[in-house]
Each structure stands twice: as structure tokens, then as C-alpha cells.
């Protein structure tokens, strides 16, 4: 009996690949290069793939969907975010689209706190000083940072990850404020202050963390006008999506001191981030590793395969879009 054919657009963690190879005839991408939408569609067509497992950098456009063979029943993304998929076009073809929610909450929240503390305590500058051999000994005013204790942390997007960030920040003595599409019930707020507008939240936030999805409404949301609402000297953190921030506006705010420091794990157009960030010492940079733990990446891969298994067996997937 022939097995279903599964196109893997990128290399996956070893245990995830082993499970995929056990259960499917896999069509791998051994060079692990980023494929264009047309290349993904062409590969699926040439091999009559039944399913496609994509990652966050893989764009599935309406044009690519139109070129997919009738054999494709499911497109599963190895991510929570799905702005890289044209979900409407996928559904219009009768293909099921899925994602992997819930499994990366803790790892991403940990990364947000890492960025927050690194930016506040000037970790990039200190690391560079030591590595460059420029450290000449301790003195009282060297690399003075900012304490998180008793500061206001504004969280934009109080879903699973936002709530996990709030939980961790409370341990540092921070006071939590948030803006969300809807207010949380009191048992989930845990004393956090709800703001019914983003503008109100920004004006309150000594530290600010983006934890909302990228959507047509949020892309470019954090422009010069919005960033100017933050208290002067605020700390800015982004572990969500880079396209929500206008790079030139953030860079200008960092240079002027309107924003004291930033911690960034995501960028518009990544991996080709704006060169201005690397030129600034008050930016702590990570290469989109918010979910990069062995446990989390395995869980993401297994969740994606669970979705594919269900669809190809004629069942509803655990995480449909």
C-alpha cells in the first residue's frame, strides 16, 4: 500500500524528521535553503504531494496555491503565526491550513524577559567591552542601566504569550498594564491594568513588550507617532513580528533617547534586517530564536505532524486556521 507524500520545505529537528520519515514518504529539502512560493508549488506538483509542512519563512501566496496539485490536502505551518500563508486562498482550494499554538508560549516568554533585562542592563555593551579587551576595571558609573522593579510594563497582546510574560515580570516587581482586543476576566488579569486604547498603554509604559500577531491592521503600527507616546527613556521589546515596527522610526527614537534601549528577536525582512540596528550599542539583538529550545521545537514539529496526520486520515486537525 502506497504511503502519503509529505513535502518538508526546511530541515526539522531530528526526532521530528524521524517521525515524518516513519509515517510518510518525505520529500525533503536537504540544503535547507529558503524556497520561493513558486519553488514550493513546483516541488509539490512534481511529486504529487499530499501534504506540505512549511516554516515561518515560507510564503504561500495565492499564486502559489493556484499552482498546487489537486493531491495536496493540508498545509501545516511549523509556527504559531501564519501571516506568511494566504489562508483565504488555501481554503478556497479546499486545502486545510493549520498552525502550532500553545507549544511555544513558555520559551517565547522567557526570551521576552531575556531581551527586557539585556536591554535594561546594557548587556550588549558589557559583553562587547569584555570581548574587545577594552574593560579597564570596575568603577561606580560604568554601564549604569535601569531597574525593572516598580516600573510599569506595558504588554501589547495579552494572549497566552503576553500572560506568560506578565507572570515572569511580576517576579521582578514590575506592575503590569496591557491592551488587548478584549479585556481579560479578573482571574486571568491577576491585577494587571487594562487600557482600552494602545495610546493610553504607551503613555503608561516604562517598559513595553509586543506580544500580538502580525495582521494587516498591526503591520507598521509602531511608527514615529506611536513611539513618541512612550515615556522618554522607555525600554522596547519585540518577540512577535518585525513588520509591526517601522524601522526608521524605532532607530530615530533609539538615537534621540526617546527609547533608551531595545531588545529585538524579530525584524522586517529577516534575515536581512535594517543595518541601522547593528550600528547601535543600545540594541540587544537575537536572530529570531524565541522558540529555540529543543523541547519547544520538537513540540512544534510534533504538533504540525499531528495536524497532518488528522487531515490525511479524514479527521479534523487539532489546530485548524
β-pair partners for 234: 259
For residue 123, give the nearest of 312, 315, 281 by alpha carbon. Answer: 281
For residue 211, give the nearest of 187, 171, 185, 176 by alpha carbon. Answer: 176
Nearest-10 Cα torsion for 231, 234, 238, 244: 30
Q: For residue 144, what are the CA distances in angstroms to 49, 112, 230, 305?
A: 56, 21, 21, 48
CB 59 within 8 A of CB 86: no
User: What are the residue numbers of the active site?
Assistant: 241, 270, 288
For residue 175, give the nearest of 158, 155, 150, 197 by alpha carbon. Answer: 150
Q: What are phi and psi for residue 166, nearest 5 degrees?
A: -60, -40
Amino acid at each position: 500500500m502506497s504511503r502519503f507524500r509529505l513535502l518538508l520545505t526546511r530541515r526539522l529537528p531530528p526526532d521530528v524528521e524521524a517521525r515524518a520519515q516513519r509515517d510518510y514518504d518525505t520529500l525533503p529539502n536537504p540544503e535547507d535553503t529558503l524556497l520561493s512560493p513558486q519553488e514550493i508549488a513546483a516541488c509539490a506538483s512534481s511529486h504529487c504531494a499530499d501534504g506540505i509542512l512549511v516554516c515561518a519563512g515560507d510564503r504561500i501566496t495565492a499564486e502559489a496555491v493556484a499552482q498546487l496539485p489537486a493531491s495536496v490536502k493540508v498545509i501545516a505551518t511549523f509556527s504559531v503565526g501564519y501571516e506568511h500563508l494566504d489562508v483565504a486562498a488555501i481554503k478556497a482550494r479546499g486545502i486545510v491550513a493549520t498552525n502550532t499554538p500553545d507549544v511555544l508560549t513558555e520559551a517565547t516568554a522567557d526570551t521576552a524577559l531575556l531581551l527586557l533585562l539585556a536591554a535594561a542592563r546594557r548587556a550588549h555593551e558589557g559583553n562587547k567591552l569584555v570581548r574587545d579587551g577594552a574593560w579597564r576595571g570596575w568603577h561606580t558609573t560604568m554601564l549604569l542601566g535601569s531597574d525593572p522593579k516598580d516600573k510599569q510594563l506595558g504588554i501589547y497582546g495579552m494572549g497566552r504569550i503576553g500572560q506568560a510574560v506578565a507572570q515572569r515580570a511580576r517576579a521582578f516587581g514590575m506592575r503590569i498594564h496591557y491592551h488587548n482586543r478584549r479585556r481579560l476576566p479578573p482571574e486571568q488579569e491577576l491585577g494587571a491594568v487594562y487600557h482600552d486604547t494602545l495610546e493610553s498603554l504607551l503613555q503608561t509604559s516604562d517598559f513595553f513588550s509586543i506580544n500580538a500577531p502580525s495582521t494587516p491592521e498591526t503591520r507598521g503600527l509602531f511608527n514615529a507617532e506611536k513611539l513618541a507616546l512612550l515615556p522618554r527613556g522607555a525600554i522596547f521589546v519585540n518577540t512577535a513580528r518585525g513588520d509591526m515596527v517601522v524601522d526608521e522610526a524605532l532607530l530615530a527614537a533609539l538615537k534621540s533617547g526617546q527609547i533608551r534601549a531595545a531588545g529585538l528577536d524579530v525584524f522586517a525582512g529577516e534575515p536581512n534586517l535594517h543595518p541601522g540596528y547593528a550600528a547601535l550599542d543600545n540594541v540587544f539583538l537575537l536572530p529570531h530564536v524565541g522558540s529555540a529550545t529543543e523541547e519547544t521545537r520538537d513540540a512544534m514539529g510534533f504538533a504540525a505532524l499531528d495536524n497532518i496526520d488528522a487531515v490525511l486520515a479524514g479527521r479534523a486537525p487539532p489546530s485548524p486556521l
